[in-house]
Every structure is written in structure tokens, then in C-alpha cells.
Structure 1
Amino acid sequence: MALDRRRFVLTGASGLVGASLGLGRPYLSRAADRPALSHGLQSGDVGSDTAMVWARADRPCRAMIEWSTTESFAQVRGGVFADALPETDGTVKVALEGLPAGQDIFYRVSLQDLAAPTIRSPGQVGRFRTAPADRRSVSFCWSGDTAGQGWGIDESRGGMTIYSAIARNRPDFFLHSGDTIYADGPIQAEVKLPDGTLWRNRVTEEVSKPAESLAEFRGRYKYNLLDRNLLALNAQVPMLAQWDDHEVTNNWWPGEPTTRAEHLRKKYADPNVLALQVRAARAFHEYMPMRFDPAEPGRVYRKISYGPLVDVFMLDMRSYRGANGENRQTEYGPDSYFLGPQQLAWLKRELVSSRATWKVIAADMPLGLVVVYDTDRNFGSEAVAQGDGPALGRELEVADLLRFIKAAGVRNTVWLTADVHYTAAHYYDPNKAQFQDFEPFWEFVSGPLHAGTFGPNALDNTFGPQLRYVKAPPAGQVNVSPAAGLQFFGHVAVDGRTEQMTVTLKDAADTDLWHVTLDPARG
């Protein structure tokens, strides 16, 4: 492999490239002089032969990334380099390519000083498992909502311990279903709990107010990466990330004026959300280990194929929607967009072309739960559902999609979501629905990861959701702290022999709350 500006030749077990670069002096390792990795490592969007790798440096430098199939790095199989510069807040994100399928991959990141190339940091090692080429068993976890409602990192309580619970399941990947940060929620040093004890947050300057500047949005991601549980998970398990509203501000829609009472309380200087969205999207893409699409640089929706058994369809229910309002249009048009025509057409094409046994639709918002847009006025619809009755507004788009899935013979779709801050299992039954032209399917809800717990929300009968399980706070309790243990994630296991999918809803203590095993439809 020839050395150019993107790739470098790796020589020897140490992975140092001095020989190939013609450098005669040994690399120096003075701790005070060398650059350092500031927020751990991440991997993501892993396939059978490729994966994204992420790191952040504490100063401008060159990041050298090498990979091997053994933890000892006895044989380095390949590598790339990328420059960590102020323009991206010191973050680097590269694609490792040509990886073997179904294999544990170890990657090592070290940093080279730009002014003194002989000064180099020691390597830090992460790992992930590539998607299999054969029908071996696959498992993964999902949830959403991190550091919301003012509940940050209380190190005296172990920090964001649910991430350690997820890691104990040794999933092939973790699906973060949105609200990866809470850019709009200040985190205070102390919060008094109902039992009189104090929740003591670790705080930084960037989390002291709602994020508006690019630095403040970036600071929210850096804050979460101070948590040792999340750092440990990131180093061992690849993440598939999507976004929802709190990466920008609560319940936003594109072009929304910042005139709601909630916006006024947050004292936003910008007259509309678009300016916030531009900065927020840049920070999101800088800090999430996801693919970059040069044809549409801000794109979040994408398909991740994880072997013959599972395709994951990552949706973006935020960027293309119409205005949040009463959501009762009788004809489909810009005001009732939710996914939007382009994303909807993409999803239909990809579902039809998928040959995976299970088509997992990763939605950042649930289909059949009523979510209010403006809680100060109790006005408007934030999600799809707008109340019982025939399909109206955004439900027209979902009805079209469900009708298409049935007509095209797409089998074994399962919807995974978060957003509502409790956990539940919904079975959508056309025999009990107002709109009936679809095949039955399941939707599983899980969250929050580390935020206030709420719920449950009202079910909308348009698509006939039947509640099979729910766990939420007792009636009348809202914004329940993580100290109460009502933090949730889901675990999905697909058996390589039977191809059955078992979905288990879990809490922060890794307790199995409820599960169901689904048989794949044939034909």
C-alpha cells in the first residue's frame, strides 16, 4: 500500500512509521510535550468490511490509526492517518476499510506532534466486531436520552451507570436512538432529591446554560465523554447514532421562530432555530462516530447492514418535518411531512432491496404515542400521533409507508424507539386500528439512558397499538431522577440457527423486565 496523504505504511509490531518515513531519530515520549487523547475512543457504523473510528486530541496534531485482528498487534493489518485541527475541535473521524467479516478488530490511536514529529503519544486501544458474512447469532442494545432534565454526572453515585449495564451484555453494537445530548438543559452543581439527599453534578462552563454557540454545543458532547461508564462502553462497543430534538432544542422543527415561552425562558439570541440547528448539526457530526456522506453532508438517515440477519434503517424524524401544529391535515403535503418525500422514498427502496431476515427501523420517535408540542399551551403534535381517529397530518405519511410495506411483501419489520422516557412494548394490530391496510408489527420503546423519567403517554388508536408491557414512574411523578433506578434500555438477540428475535426490556441494574420472542415470517 503506497504512502499518500491518506494512508501510511505500517512496519513492525510497534506500528511506528519512522522507517517508512525515513526518520532516523527514535520517537520521544516526554509526557509534558506530547499530545494526548482527551475523550477516549469511539467506533461506529460498522459493517462486514468497514467501520468508523473516532478520537479527539488536546492540541493540533496528526492521529495515526492502525488496526489488527489481535490485541497484541503482533501483525498490524493496515491503517490511516488524519489531522486533528481546531476547525473540528480536535476531533478526527476515519473509515477503516478492507476489514475481515465477523472478526474482532483492535484499533490503536497515537498522536504525532506537528511541530516536532519525533514526539508521539503512546497508543490507546479500542475494539469492535465486524458484521458477519454467515448466519451467526447477533445481539445489540438500544436506548436514548443522555444527561437530560439537569441530571448530569454524579460521580459519588457511580456516574451514568446504565452504560456499564449495557456493556455487560457484550452487544455487537449499541443503537443510540437520539437525544445524545441535552443542549438546551442547564446542569447545576446540586439538585435536592425528594428524600432530602443531594444529587451532585459534575459541571463545566459549557453545560451551565442552553447551548447557542458552536463551542457550547461541542461542550455538551465533551461533557458526556467525561463519564467513565460511557468511555468504557465506547472503547468496546460500536455506536449507531441518530438524533432527535435535544441535540438542538426541545421539540424544534426546521425554521421554527424562537418565540415559544420555552424559548423565551432560555433567552435565545437567535430569532429562529435554523441558526442553532446549523451549529448543533456540525457538533453532532464532529462528535458522533458515524459515516460522512459527501453528497449530503448533514445527512443522518442511513442503512447499516449487520450481516444476513439484521439490517438497521436509521431514520431522521427531525430535519425534514413540517411545522409542529395541530397535525390534522387531510392531504399529504409540506405541512404534514415527517420523514419527508426524499427520505421516505429512500426507506421504501432500501426495505424492498434488503435481504436481511429482520428489518430494524430505528425511529427517534414512537408512532402511536401522543406527544404534545407546546406544553405551556398544551398545543400541537410533536410526534406522529395526533389523537384517535382516521389517519391525518403526519399519520398520512406513516399510513402510506405501512401500506407500501404490506403491498411490497416486506417481511419482519420491527420498530425501535426512545424519546418518551419510559419503556414499553406495543403490538400494532390492524384489526383494532382505524387505518387497517398494513401487516401487524411490533414497536419497542426504551429510555431514558440517564435523564428524568416520565410517562406513560396516551396511545392513539389510528394504527391500533396494543400495550403489552409498560414500566414508568407512579402516577403524578415526573422528572424522576436516575437515583430511582427507572432508567431503561433494550436488548435484541437474533439466533443464528432459528433466526428468531428475542427482545428484552431492561433497567439500569440490568434486570430483565419483560421479553418476547418473535418468529420470522417466511416467503
Structure 2
Amino acid sequence: MSDRPPLPGRRGVLRGSLAASAALTLPAGLGAAPALALSGRPRAEWGVQSGDVTADSALVWVGSDRPARMIVETSATESFRSPRRWHGPLLGTDTDLTGVTRLRGLPPGRQVHYRVLLADPDDPRRTSEPVLGTFRTVPVRRRDGMRFLWSGDLAGQGWGINPDLGGYRIFDAMARLDPDFFLFSGDTVYADGPIAPAVALPGGGTWRNVTTEEKAKVAETLAEYRGNFRYNLLDDNLRRFNAQVPVIVQWDDHEVRNNWYPGQVIADTDTRYTEKSVDVLTARARRAFSEYFPVSTLRPGAGEGRVYRVLRQGPLLDVFVLDMRTCRNANSPDDQAVDPQGILGREQLEWLKRELARSRAVWKVLAADMPIGLVVPDGQEGRPHFEAVAQGDPGAPLGRELQIAELLRFVKHRRITGTVWLTADVHHTSAQHYQPSRAAFTDFEPFWEFVSGPLNAGAFPAGALDGTFGPERVFVKAPSVGNVSPAGGHQFFGEVEIDGDSAELTVRLREQDGGVLFTKVLQPGRVGQ
């Protein structure tokens, strides 16, 4: 972490800058879509966030309470003397009054302070109070080092924003580490998980939730999906974190519906849904996802329109953001001997192989929204169906394992070093080491997979491991019973720190208050560790 630019007064400024958006309370239907007939100045009620930051660019996001022109000003200092101004889009109802502005030509490896103004389209002199944020651009010097965090699974199983516990406090613990970015590893919302005002806790007591109209049922309409993303932004901790730490975000199933796959038709027995086509639901969810997160490939005119992408983070790190949901085949017993589609789809797999071969970074993080060796059942009646890669058969690769075997073989034979898998999804934290000498499939180099989460959701016991790729669970912390509330602990995030001098990569698995549970140091360029 050497040679970082100083951050004088950074957190104090952020606390003051969010005053305009911090007074979010639920009376008067705040969780609903913003009204359009409003007096006074526009307001950025949902805070700001930045994302997909590179050495010379970044995306800045804001949400408004009415149609407004987005304006971003940037500065090298908190005083905003001689700021640079960026004119962003007109925020309208077609994007739920949200918008993103791309900042270009930024200096590499520096702290950038920004403030967002919302201007009345009919009177540009009438502007909102500024909402401030900050981020660091990607360094171009190896010796700068870096630190980032990852986790997933927010507001699941009915455990929402609990004012008695201070809301999503885990984000304050993460902010104290001052990371370069946060890798949000999917299940960013639980669109299929209604939030009730109160939930009885096992053994007595009551969990209280902040509630909104859109969270009273499973999401089906575009408005309901949008409301799921707005719900999380009611939390003060998350809005403060968003203003301080840029995000690299991916999605998984709960942005749409539990365990979904393309072409799925919801059974008539699931009476919660009147819309039975998962493809229809996915299109609505994807649109809301693209409106509420700054994702470079999903912006208008980006030309790609996909969630998977690679973020080059300087000479030390490339982050390969995978999408193990959009391109997968149907969940099944997953024991077929031939599986061309797999969990990534052929196009994404070939893209990943090309980009890994091109990478010159010391470390290549594979940001997977689902684990490789942990068995994740789908809960189908009859023959068991499976949701992730593994299906519990410890023998030669079958089903989706065939695609992972192809990728691991490619990494070995192209002599690609420094691959590390990070994931969430399973609501506990653990570290797995994969070793050919323990495996049925042996044509790969050893690698590590680290699991974190949830952020604010039910915690669950650790599932079984599949022996196909020879995993050994080196560390795990998980409850012994299912759906433990956040009040019962077992909320986790992970930290990755890369030293600028040695290029050592240190993984720390942390719990809700930031306490370190497990540490692993990996050496650059070394196989078999």
C-alpha cells in the first residue's frame, strides 16, 4: 500500500456532503417512485456512487426526485477550486430518474473528488444541493499497491433494513478499510424476497424492517424491480459507502428470481407470480439493474449490453467479472457427458480464455457469482437438480464441470499464473484449495477459491464439497442451522491486499465488525501454493 496519495479529511467531508440525502425516512411513501409534480429545487435523494473506474475514466451515478440535468464537477482537492465540469444526461422517467456520466481524461493513480448537481431543465440556474463523492483512479505504477473488498447477498430471506440495529452496519466496517473498490458479487437485491414490517426471531424477540410498497411482494413489474434497488438506498450506511468506494458489480439469481435460468417457465403452483415467463422478468430486472448501478458495458451506446467484462486495475491486477446466470443451461441433475452450453455459455467462455491469455497483470481475479466446488442444490422434486457447477459426483467432470475443466486446462497449458477465484452466494465464508493430487480431473494447476457473504441476509451452513477438482476446505465459518438472521452474526466480507513492492496477495476473510477470521498470503508467479 505504498506511495498512495494522502486523503486529508476525506471521511469528514463525506459525512457533511451527504446531508442532502441522509434525511431519508419512510413516512409519505419515500420508497415509492419519485413524484414528478414537485416544487423547489431537484434533490439527489438516493446519494451518489461511482463504478468501473480505470486509470483515466470512471462512471458516476445519481438518482433524482424529478426530471433534471445531471452535472458533475471534479477536482483534485476537497476545496473544488477551479473544478472541471461534465454535462451529463437529462434524467427522465424512462430511466426512473437515474443517470450516469462517464468521466474521461482523469489522472491515473490519484484521488478524485466529485460533486453532483441536478439542474432544473426549465431553469438551469435552479440546481440541487451538491452531493459529494470520491474515488481513486487505477494506478499505472506497480509500486502503488492496492486493496479491495468483496461480498454479496444483501437484504435476503426477509431480513431488511433494521433501524434497531442501525441498518446495514457492515458497510461502515468496510468503509473504514478505505478500499480502492468494492466487488459486489451478486444478489445485490432480493427481488423475490418480500420484506415484512416485523419478523419473529427464534427463541423470542422481533426483527423490525423498514418497508416499502414495492418490497411487499415478489417483483414482477419494472416498477417493482426498480423499487427493490431503491429499497437498499434507503440505508444511510450504504449511501455513505457508495459515496466513498467505487463499485464493480455483477448479478446472480435474486436480481430476478431464485435459481432462475434462461427459458424457465414458473410453475402454476407458484401463485406469487402472475407473469410466468422468466425471460420477461429478466428483461425487466436487467433494465432496473442497469439503471441503478454504474456498469460500463450496460450504458447506452456501450455496444455490448452484457454483464461480463474485464476491469484492468493496473500492472498488479485484472478483474474478470463473470456472469454465471444469463448464459447458462437449465438446472438439471447435471450429469451429462457432453455439455456445450455449461454455466458460462460458449461465447463467454471463449471471451474469458482470450482475455486471460492477453492479461499481463500479476494477479487475475475471477469474480464468480457462484462457487466451483461447493454443491448447491436447486431443490427440485424427483432426481436432485443443481444450481452451481458441482453436483456431488467426485469422479470425472460431468455437466457444467466440463466447462470449468476446459478453462482450468487452458490456464495450465497457456502457463497463465496468478488466478484466484472470489465468490459469494452461499451465505457463509470459507477458503478452498484445489489440488490435482486430490482430484479426479488432474490437468490443471492448483488454485484457491475464497467465499464471502452475506452482507445482510440469512446465514446458512456450509454445504458439501465435490471432489472432481480436489478441493480441501482450509477454513470455514458458518452457522449450524439455516437462515440465521443478521442479528445472530455470520455476516461476512473479504479483503484482498496486493503489496506494491513484493506483489504478494493477501486475502483476509472478515466478519461484520471487520474482525479478521482467516488470512492467506499468496506469492506472485508461483504454482502449487
Assess same fold via TM > 0.5. yes
In structure 1, the partner of 2:160 is: 152
In structure 2, the partner of 1:224 is: 232
Letter matched to residue 364 of structure 2: K
Partner secondary structure for residue 415 of structure 1: strand
In structure 2, the partner of 1:369 is: 374
Q: Is the 8 A contact 2:59 2:294 kept in 1?
A: yes
User: Which region of structure 1 is more displaced relative to structure 2, 497-506 or 67-76?
Assistant: 67-76
Matches for 1:381-420 after TM superposition, within 5 Å: 381-387=386-392, 388-420=394-426
Q: Is the 8 A contact 1:68 1:78 kept in 2?
A: no
In structure 2, the partner of 1:5 is: none
Distance in 2 between residues matched to 1:32 and 1:184, nearest whole Å:
35
Letter matched to residue 67 of structure 2: P
Match of 2:432 among 400, 422, 426: 426
Letter matched to residue 208 of structure 2: R
Partner secondary structure for residue 224 of structure 2: helix
Matching of residue 36 in structure 1 with residue 43 in structure 2? yes
In structure 1, the partner of 2:246 is: 238
In structure 2, the partner of 1:353 is: 358
Matches for 1:24-423 after TM superposition, within 5 Å: 32-135=39-142, 136-259=144-267, 264-265=270-271, 267-293=272-298, 294=301, 297-334=304-341, 337-374=342-379, 379-387=384-392, 388-423=394-429
Distance in 2 between residues matched to 1:362 and 1:118, nearest whole Å:
44
Please state how far the C-alpha of 1:118 moved relative to its aligned partner: 2.4
Distance in 1 between residues matched to 2:79 and 2:475, nearest whole Å:
46
Two-structure CA RMSD over aligned residues (Å)? 1.4
Match of 1:468 among 466, 471, 474: 474
Partner secondary structure for residue 490 of structure 2: coil
Question: What percentage of residue pairs aligned between the two structures are identical?
Answer: 52
Match of 2:510 among 502, 506, 517: 506
Distance in 2 between residues matched to 1:522 and 1:321, nearest whole Å:
32
Distance in 2 between residues matched to 1:306 and 1:205, nearest whole Å:
40
Please state how far the C-alpha of 1:205 moved relative to its aligned partner: 0.1
Cα distance change on mapping 1:435 and 1:422 into 2, 3 Å: same
Match of 1:488 among 485, 489, 492: 492
Q: Spell out, residue by residue over 1:34-72, the C-alpha distance to the aligned partner (whole angstroms, 9 max, x if none).
A: 111020000000110011110001000111111111111
Please state how far the C-alpha of 1:153 moved relative to its aligned partner: 0.3
Please state how far the C-alpha of 1:142 moved relative to its aligned partner: 0.2
Q: Spell out, residue by residue over 1:201-230, the C-alpha distance to the aligned partner (whole angstroms, 9 max, x if none).
A: 000000000000000000000000000110
Cα distance change on mapping 1:378 and 1:421 into 2, 3 Å: farther
Match of 2:482 among 478, 486, 492: 478
Cα distance change on mapping 1:67 and 1:281 into 2, 3 Å: same
Cα distance change on mapping 1:237 and 1:465 into 2, 3 Å: same
Distance in 1 between residues matched to 2:495 and 2:165, nearest whole Å:
24
Distance in 1 between residues matched to 2:359 and 2:414, nearest whole Å:
12
Please state how far the C-alpha of 1:326 moved relative to its aligned partner: 0.7
In structure 2, the partner of 1:11 is: none
Q: Is the 8 A contact 1:303 1:311 kept in 2?
A: yes
Partner secondary structure for residue 510 of structure 2: strand
Structure 2, unmatched stretches of 5+, are 1-37
Please state how far the C-alpha of 1:378 moved relative to its aligned partner: 7.0
Q: Spell out, residue by residue over 1:218-263, the C-alpha distance to the aligned partner (whole angstroms, 9 max, x if none).
A: 00000000001100100000000000000000000001010175xx
In structure 2, the partner of 1:28 is: none
Cα distance change on mapping 1:505 and 1:377 into 2, 3 Å: farther
Distance in 1 between residues matched to 2:469 and 2:208, nearest whole Å:
43
Letter matched to residue 507 of structure 2: V
Q: Spell out, residue by residue over 1:148-193, the C-alpha distance to the aligned partner (whole angstroms, 9 max, x if none).
A: 0000001111101111111111100000000000000010000111
Q: Is the 8 A contact 1:494 1:502 kept in 2?
A: yes
Please state how far the C-alpha of 1:436 moved relative to its aligned partner: 0.5
Q: Is the 8 A contact 2:333 2:383 kept in 1?
A: no
Cα distance change on mapping 1:376 and 1:33 into 2, 3 Å: farther
Letter matched to residue 447 of structure 2: F
Distance in 1 between residues matched to 2:110 and 2:207, nearest whole Å:
42
Partner secondary structure for residue 238 of structure 2: helix
Q: Spell out, residue by residue over 1:5-51, the C-alpha distance to the aligned partner (whole angstroms, 9 max, x if none).
A: xxxxxxxxxxxxxxxxxxxxxxxxxx951111020000000110011
Q: Is the 8 A contact 1:44 1:239 kept in 2?
A: yes
Structure 1, unmatched stretches of 5+, are 1-30
Q: Is the 8 A contact 2:67 2:90 kept in 1?
A: yes
Partner secondary structure for residue 39 of structure 1: coil
Q: Is the 8 A contact 1:432 1:461 kept in 2?
A: yes
Distance in 1 between residues matched to 2:268 and 2:361, nearest whole Å:
44
Distance in 2 between residues matched to 1:431 and 1:236, nearest whole Å:
44
Q: Is the 8 A contact 1:172 1:237 kept in 2?
A: yes
Please state how far the C-alpha of 1:198 moved relative to its aligned partner: 1.0
Q: Is the 8 A contact 2:297 2:309 kept in 1?
A: no
Partner secondary structure for residue 286 of structure 1: helix
Distance in 2 between residues matched to 1:401 and 1:95, nearest whole Å:
33
Please state how far the C-alpha of 1:272 moved relative to its aligned partner: 1.8
Distance in 2 between residues matched to 1:377 and 1:60, nearest whole Å:
52
Cα distance change on mapping 1:297 and 1:408 into 2, 3 Å: closer
Q: Between Structure 1 and Structure 2, how many residues are aligned?
A: 486
Distance in 2 between residues matched to 1:195 and 1:98, nearest whole Å:
57
Q: Is the 8 A contact 2:373 2:389 kept in 1?
A: yes
Match of 1:454 among 460, 475, 478: 460
In structure 1, the partner of 2:19 is: none
Distance in 2 between residues matched to 1:366 and 1:125, nearest whole Å:
36
Q: Is the 8 A contact 1:485 1:509 kept in 2?
A: no
